[in-house]
């Protein structure tokens, strides 16, 4: 089995998406000047030991991780050494903040002070100040995502390098996470002899794989519907304006069906996937759904009524989170759904009716090879994890140290400046 190559001709990236229902690992390859990834291997298995972004059974999780990673290695014929991991959960919090610094003038030939050009150190200084907020001892900064800069009275500047002025202000979106959740996740992976090179909030990774530059600039919301949670990232003006986790996902629909029909979770999930519709009026009242337990049946329409009610609840919470982004202009491109929960039948028309906004399903882009496997919305996050190292390197002057320990991960989370686009 070949080790990961970081030579000039190609680079290998590995993504690991850990959810409550499934764990997916993917390996991709790119060339230095490429902005796309060739998929070399992907494996997905049912998740064990994880619930709502929190480890509930460490040994079972490690066993699942070991299996899915080894299967992906076998498919790609590559030994994994470093990996980019997704994270989610109710412990995730986000906020927007800003900071400003004076720009020291330099002496001119006539002895008078003149404005100097802004350089990388100025940008890093203002971003460091922006993220220097007071956090509880049990929280760490996961992402520092620049939104825009202001130079004196000039605003909405994306890259201030080379400009002159007397004051530089930076506005950023911060994503924070529970220290314990991060620590436990990293330790499980490191126990397998693999270094965690980065940790990424799930909707940010999914956005990398599915959104276009125009959508990010003119306004769009990425809604990743997972099993136990729904993750949101609102974009406008080329940057993240708000992100959040809603503690309800597609498993809530499964539970509703199980309670309503008095069947097992497994049977309820099968019924949901085969018969349920997000919009009850598009279901048949004459199609009977057989219940294995006691040889009875219920109409497809009756099941879909419960599904519709739960989805409307999720959409109401999504709408509330979008309003917290405080964007004056409407989101020109509406909403993009990703995640396994987005594959529910007729989810698009219900969402458009419920939220009054254009909705589409997001499929991974910038990915080459094995398209029949990788095209599904449920693989958006893991595909975005493959792309993450490429796009974070776009940030001018960004320093991305390679850390080989848990301590290094925390230092990186605290101090690395990340810019996605």
Per the model's pLDDT, the better-predicted residue between 33 and 67 turns out to be 67
Q: Is 59 left (phi over 0), alpha (psi -120 to 50) or beta?
A: alpha
Task: Find the distance separating the first CA and the last CA of the chain, reported in whole Å.
Answer: 34
Which pLDDT does position 2 carry in this prediction? 52
Phi, psi at residue 12, to the nearest 5°? -110, 135
Neighbours of 289 (CB within 10 A): 18
What are 314-337's pLDDT values in tens digits? Answer: 999 999 999 999 787 778 899 999
Residue 282: Cβ within 10 Å count: 15
Q: In the prediction, which pLDDT does 363 show? A: 87
**Ranges of each domain in the chain:** 93-176, 213-363
- Among 85-89, 117-121, 292-296, the range scoring the smallest mean pLDDT is 292-296
- The predicted pLDDT at position 367 comes to 83
Mean pLDDT, all residues of the chain? 86
Kindly list the strands in the beta sheet with 367-368, ordered across the sheet, starting from the edge strand earlier in the chain: 195-201, 82-87, 11-18, 22-30, 37-46, 367-368
> How would residue 403 be classed by pLDDT, with cut points 50, 70 and 90?
very low
| Strand intervals (E) in 56-138 | 78-79, 82-87, 93-102, 106-107, 113-114
Measured CA to CA, the distance from residue 185 to residue 179 in angstroms comes to 10
Q: Which helix (H) or strand (E) holds 298?
A: strand 296-299
- CA distance readout (Å), 91 to 42, 209, 247, 385: 28, 24, 10, 20
- Condensed to tens digits (0 to 9), the pLDDT of residues 178-235 reads 999 999 999 999 999 999 999 999 999 999 999 999 999 999 999 999 999 999 999 9
The fold adopted by the segment(s) 213-363 is Nucleotidyltransferase; domain 5 (3.30.420)
Q: 189: which 2 tokens?
A: 């992976």
Could you say which DSSP state residue 296 is in? Answer: E
Q: What is the pLDDT of residues 343-367, one digit of tens each?
A: 999 999 999 999 999 999 998 888 8
Q: What is the mean pLDDT of residues 107-116?
A: 64
Q: What percent of the chain has pLDDT over 70?
A: 86
Residue 398: pLDDT over 50: no
Domain at 93-176: CATH architecture: 2-Layer Sandwich (3.30)
pTM value is 0.88
Q: pLDDT-derived band of residue 421, with 50, 70 and 90 as boundaries?
A: very low
């Amino acid at each position: 089995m070949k080790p990961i190559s970081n030579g000039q001709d190609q680079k290998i990236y590995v993504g690991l998406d850990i959810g409550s229902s499934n764990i997916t690992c993917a390996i991709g390859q790119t060339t230095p000047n490429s902005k796309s990834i060739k998929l070399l291997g992907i494996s997905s298995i049912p998740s064990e030991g994880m619930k709502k972004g929190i480890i509930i059974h460490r040994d079972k999780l490690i066993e699942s991780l070991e299996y899915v990673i080894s299967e992906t290695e076998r498919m790609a014929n590559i030994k994994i050494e470093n990996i980019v991991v997704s994270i989610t959960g109710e412990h995730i919090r986000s906020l927007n903040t800003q900071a400003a610094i004076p720009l020291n003038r330099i002496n001119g030939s006539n002895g008078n002070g003149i404005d100097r050009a802004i350089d990388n150190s100025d940008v890093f200084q203002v971003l460091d100040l922006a993220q220097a907020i007071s956090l509880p001892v049990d929280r760490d900064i996961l992402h520092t995502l620049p939104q825009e800069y202001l130079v004196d009275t000039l605003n909405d500047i994306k890259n201030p390098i080379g400009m002159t002025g007397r004051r530089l202000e930076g506005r950023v979106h911060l994503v924070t996470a529970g220290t314990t959740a991060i620590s436990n996740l990293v330790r499980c992976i490191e126990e397998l002899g693999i270094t965690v090179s980065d940790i990424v909030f799930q909707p940010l990774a999914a956005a990398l794989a599915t959104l276009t530059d125009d959508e990010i600039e003119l306004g769009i919301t990425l809604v990743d519907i997972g099993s136990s949670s729904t993750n949101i990232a609102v974009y406008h003006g080329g940057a993240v304006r708000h992100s959040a986790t809603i503690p309800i996902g597609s498993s809530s629909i499964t539970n509703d069906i199980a309670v309503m029909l008095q069947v097992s979770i497994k049977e309820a999930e099968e019924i949901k996937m085969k018969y349920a519709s997000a919009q009850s009026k598009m279901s048949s009242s004459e199609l009977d759904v057989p219940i294995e337990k006691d040889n009875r049946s219920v109409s497809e329409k009756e099941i879909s009524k419960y599904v519709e009610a739960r989805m409307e609840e999720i959409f109401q919470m999504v709408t509330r989170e979008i309003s917290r982004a405080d964007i004056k202009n409407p989101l020109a491109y509406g909403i993009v759904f990703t995640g396994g929960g987005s594959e529910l039948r007729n989810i698009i028309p219900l969402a458009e009716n419920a939220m009054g906004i254009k909705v589409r399903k997001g499929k991974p882009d910038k990915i080459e090879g094995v398209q029949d496997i990788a095209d599904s919305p449920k693989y958006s996050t893991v595909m975005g994890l493959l792309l993450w190292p490429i796009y974070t390197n776009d940030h001018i002057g960004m320093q991305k140290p390679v850390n080989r320990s848990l301590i290094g991960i925390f230092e990186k989370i605290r101090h690395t400046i990340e810019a996605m686009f």
